Amino acid sequence: MAEFTAKDVMKLREQTGAGMMDCKRALTDADGDFEKAGELLRERGIAKAVKRASKIAAEGIVYAYSENGVGVLVEVNCESDFVAKGEKFHSVVETVAKQIAKICPATVEELLSSSLGSETVETYVQEQTGVIGEKISVRRFTVYKTQGFVETYIHMGGTMGVMLDFSCPETAETKELAHDIALHTAFAKPAYKTAAEVSPETLEKEKEIMMQEVLNEGKAPAIAERIVLGKIKKFYEENCLMDQKFVKDDKVTISQLIASAAKATGLKIELSNFVFYVMGEGLEKKSEDLSEEVAKQVEAMKK
């Protein structure tokens, strides 16, 4: 086997943009042949993946997975809606979700650096970027280790996802309740579970906005104070899941719905946690004039 030096690894990295370990592995597999190593990186999709790193991955899906008392909600992004709907991309997302459920990482960085067979999750994602032809990015995830059961709901193939953690036995009755609340969450989009979760800073800011709004309507300060108290109650009802009116029956709140189910079943039913993702929320979507895109490609070919 031909030998190679650290300088060879650095040179290959500079020319291909691939990671140090990927370049070292390619040189080893190519018996030190520099050109062959570069070809291996391209074949493995790693060089191509790095070249696409500047692309904006603002499409994708929200995906849910659960096993052995662990629930996962994850958002993985790509560049186009076409790829997001494809089986290959869905397979990548499923693999990532299963890895999250297996190791329960705390951060995306910890997930990407974890071992997936003989490679890391990051290398796997890079390779799949090369296979699929678009940048793939694991954006965020939530993991629940439940003492009861998790309920998930994915809307329209992954445009939105909800996950609920119930600390009670999974029965036909509690499963139906959980499904109803998951649908409600997707519709009502609460920001908090209870009023206690609203930070003092957020509440104070809301009060300031409400007070100014009422004063602008010409109300006297004393009257404005009472109106603001009513508005704060309305704020909780609109933004806190347990205080929201159930979408299927606006005569009861979610808290009352759970209490009613607990009384009917004789079970202690508690919603421990909830999370929902809207795919691409907050991400910038790339928008370019077609002529500009063509011009960029032509310029790239000249280099």
DSSP 78-107: ES-HHHHTSHHHHHHHHHHHHHHHHH--SS
d(CA 248, CA 272): 22
pLDDT computed for residue 136 by the predictor: 95
d(CA 152, CA 178): 9
pLDDT computed for residue 288 by the predictor: 46
Q: Which residue has the tokens 């109803």?
A: 180
Phi, psi of 161 (to 5 degrees): -140, 145
Amino acid at 16: T
In the chain, what are the domains? 6-44 (1.10.8.10), 59-192+273-278 (3.30.479.20)
Amino acid at 62: V
Closest CA to 128 of 78, 85, 80: 78
Is the C-alpha dihedral spanning 102, 108, 111, 112 positive or negative? Answer: positive
d(CA 301, CA 303): 6
**Geometric angle at alpha carbon 237, from 234 and 240, rounded to 5°:** 130
Note whether 133 and 118 are within 8 A (CB): no
Closest CA to 81 of 73, 89, 69: 89
- Cα 194 off chain centre by: 23
pLDDT computed for residue 40 by the predictor: 85
pLDDT computed for residue 98 by the predictor: 98
159 is written with which tokens?
A: 């445009």
Q: Which strands, in side-by-side order, build the sheet including 59-67?
A: 59-67, 70-78, 137-145
Per-position pLDDT tens, the chain of length 303 = 567 888 888 888 877 778 888 889 999 999 999 888 888 887 777 766 666 666 667 899 999 999 999 999 999 999 999 999 999 999 999 999 999 999 999 999 999 999 999 999 999 999 999 899 999 999 999 999 999 999 999 999 999 999 999 999 999 999 999 999 999 999 999 999 999 999 999 999 999 999 998 999 999 999 999 999 999 999 999 999 999 999 999 999 999 999 999 999 999 999 999 999 999 987 766 544 444 544 554 454 444
**Geometric angle at alpha carbon 38, from 34 and 40, rounded to 5°:** 115
